[in-house]
Amino acid sequence: MTTATSTLGAGASRASRAVQLGAAGLLGLFVVGFAGFAQSDVVHNAAHDYRHSMAFPCH
């Protein structure tokens, strides 16, 4: 059995890292925005309780 390997150049790994960081940032903003501005008290209170359980002051 033979396997083929390839190496990515430094430019490809930097571009990949930038895309991953950007996607993670957008996901984080979405989650914070969704939980913070949710009209549903259940979602908002769950996020509020989670912040307190992680010892993060929120008010």
Whether residue 54 lies inside any domain: the answer is yes
pLDDT at position 48 is 79
Domain residues for the domain of 50 are: 24-59
Whether residue 36 lies inside any domain: the answer is yes
Whether residue 29 lies inside any domain: the answer is yes
| Tally of CB atoms within 10 A around 5 | 4
CA 24/CA 37 separation, integer angstroms: 20
Length of the chain: 59
Q: What is the CA radius of gyration of the chain?
A: 19
Each residue of 1-59: pLDDT tens digit?
666 665 555 566 888 999 999 999 999 888 888 777 777 788 778 877 888 888 877 66
| Contacts for 57 with CB less than 8 Å, ≥ 6 apart | 51
DSSP 37: S
